[in-house]
Amino acid sequence: MELFPPFEPHATGALPVGDGHELYWEVSGNPDGPVVVFIHGGPGASTAPTYRRFFDPSFWRIALFDQRGCGRSRPHASVEANTTAHLVADLEVLRHHLGVERWLLFGGSWGSTLALAYGQAHPGRCTGFVMRGIFLFRPDEVEWFMSGMGRFFPEAHRRFMAHLPEAERVRPLAAYLERLTHPDTHVHMPAARVWCGYEEACARLLPRDEGGDPDGPSTLALARIEAHYMAHQGFMRPNQLLDEMDRIRHLPAIIVQGRYDLVCPPQSAADLARAWPGCELRMVPDAGHSAMEPGIRAGLVDAVERMKMRIRR
């Protein structure tokens, strides 16, 4: 299935959520339809107009927002008062602000992490889940990002490590976090470009010849906030998301997972599906991590379409 044709939001705003943070939000689609909330990845990425198009605007009321420090939210690239608990609380503030009783959670990569964390904190506010690229924020998943991906993309990993002095390469996450949070733009921006370039190089089954804009507005936010969360184990207990599955096991869920996702390998999706008997795991045989790869994109649109019949309004 293809994405729906482009359409515009009918409401946007800036929502104060405390601690000096203000979130960008938008709503599109059917004002009277069941609600779906798009939870973007990273942590540190942002929403984009294309992401509305996973959803049928004649059926869904579609909420998108940029998380703390991300995209059009302010302050930009801030890691102050920026933890998983803060983001879960922000979702509740947004839900109340929009007058939503319950909503379908749609998220990929870090978006799947936050969707699960929110769902387990507020199961009564969820109608179900559509997720891709499952990331449970276990220590081995963070270690895989920092070094394991290099087994398949050695050139990208070599560039990633080469940015650091040799003495600091034994603890690359700490070394990168120190640079990414440095106030001098001549220190944090080069580190951010290399960090994002490494992730981008590993994100697709068939890598792009050229990566995205290395000086784009999201570069610093993505690198800085991602490293901040990784250095703090996602601000969660080890194995927390699997341990708390009893809180959402009754809800419908569909996972769309790229077989060759090297950012979030399929083992995490398989572990989550085993802990969630009512969850449907759909493995896409010719895809990596990116939501915009053809097989992942089609699988997500189809999953949301099928959720129309499974959710309880």
The set of catalytic residues is: 109, 261, 289
* Residue 166 CB-density burial (10 A; 0-12 exposed, 13-18 middle, 19+ buried): exposed
**DSSP code string of the chain:** -PPPPP---SEEEEEEEETTEEEEEEEEE-TTSPEEEEE--TTT----GGGGGGS-TTT-EEEEEPPTTSTTSBSTT--TT-SHHHHHHHHHHHHHHHT-S-EEEEEETHHHHHHHHHHHH-GGGEEEEEEES-----HHHHHHHHTGGGGT-HHHHHHHHHTS-GGGTTSHHHHHHHHHT-S-HHHHHHHHHHHHHHHHHTSSSS--SS-S-TTSTTHHHHHHHHHHHHHTGGGS-TTHHHHTGGGTTTS-EEEEEETT-SSS-HHHHHHHHHT-TTEEEEEETT--S-TTSHHHHHHHHHHHHHHHHHS--
> Could you identify the residue written with the tokens 């470009």?
193
